[in-house]
Amino acid sequence: MLPSVVENNLKKLLGDRKASDFRDAYAQLSESYRNAISPNINADSALAYACARMPATYAVVKYVIDEFTRKVPSYTFRDVLDVGSGTGALMCYFLDANLNYTAIEKSKAMIEVSRNLIEGGILAPDFHCCDVQQAFTQRYDSTFFIYSLNEMPDKSAVLQKAVDCTSDYIFVVETGTPIGFEVIKLAKQIALKNRLGVVAPCAVENCPLAADDWCHFSVRVPRSQLHNLVKNSSLPYEDEKFSYVILSKKRVEYYSNNRIIKRPIKKKGHAIFDLCTDSGARRFISSDKKHRKCEWGEELGDIQ
């Protein structure tokens, strides 16, 4: 769920209008994204996007940064660049953080929504309504691409600029689809070319998966009544699938993490896991009770 202050701000933005009034705007926006068409975003479609997509995007952001914090517990964010900031899911995560935050977003309507959603928090972003090519004008300690890199025509050039202007870490999150994973693999290729390391989720430099397979994860997102009304749905939750990679300008060692990269198959007396390991991708069958509690995306620990 979104932070309560953001939820309240979202309701204020809706005012007397019903969430269902934004259903058509969101449907049109979704169709444009599915067909790789750059949408014309107005105030209604930006607000519809915030209602329908922000909870899932925020949940993914939290998942990824929590994983990063687990790997690098002593790190403190200081200067953050949010490329393609949308309606502000990443801002919501840093809502009460005292840091320098630059947000690049080409839609004025989305900037206005995000500005209103974070009202009441400590964060005071420096918004820039411009094309991404104008984003990399100074150095940042961390750069984030949250569901934005796939929309950019020259991804390699953008990634290279991110590498050049980032001191510490680059976070890339994309849809948990073969297309989204191709973007993640491209980000990793650029990283390796520039001698960057990978903090998560990988256990090896070169992806061990077959060409027709892809690495992705899932987070379950509770749906509010508002969320369901805009999406014209009745389920109390949705499962958001995503792919991600966290790249490091600092030297890191690849983890022998045995990360679970698919939903485990749990049967009576044993469980079947598909893993990314330091020796490549492998399937592991375990009857150990402690392993039966492990879920998709977690690390299985030492195995034989």
* Segment 251-263 mean pLDDT: 79
What is the pLDDT of the chain when averaged over all its residues? 88
Measured CA angle at 248 (ends 246, 253), to 5 deg: 100
Q: Which of 41-45, 172-176, 193-197, 236-240 has the highest mean pLDDT?
A: 172-176
* Segment 215-226 mean pLDDT: 87
Q: Which residues pair with residue 245 across a beta bridge?
A: 172
Tens digits of residue pLDDT in 148-201: 999 888 999 999 999 999 999 999 999 999 999 999 999 999 998 999 999 999
Indicate the Cα dihedral angle 122, 128, 132, 136, nearest 10°.
-70
pLDDT(38) > 70: no
pTM of structure: 0.93
Indicate the burial class of 192 (C-beta count within 10 angstroms; 0-12, 13-18, 19 or more): middle
* Segment 92-97 mean pLDDT: 96
Report CA torsion sign: 46, 51, 53, 56. Answer: positive
Q: What pLDDT score does 69 carry?
A: 94
The CATH number given to 4-255 is 3.40.50.150
Could you tell me which residue, 122 or 26, shows the higher pLDDT? 122
- Residue 92 and residue 86: Cα distance in Å, rounded? 12
Q: What pLDDT score does 23 carry?
A: 73
- Residue 54 and residue 250: Cα distance in Å, rounded? 31
pLDDT(137) > 90: no
The residues spanned by each domain of the chain are: 4-255, 256-304
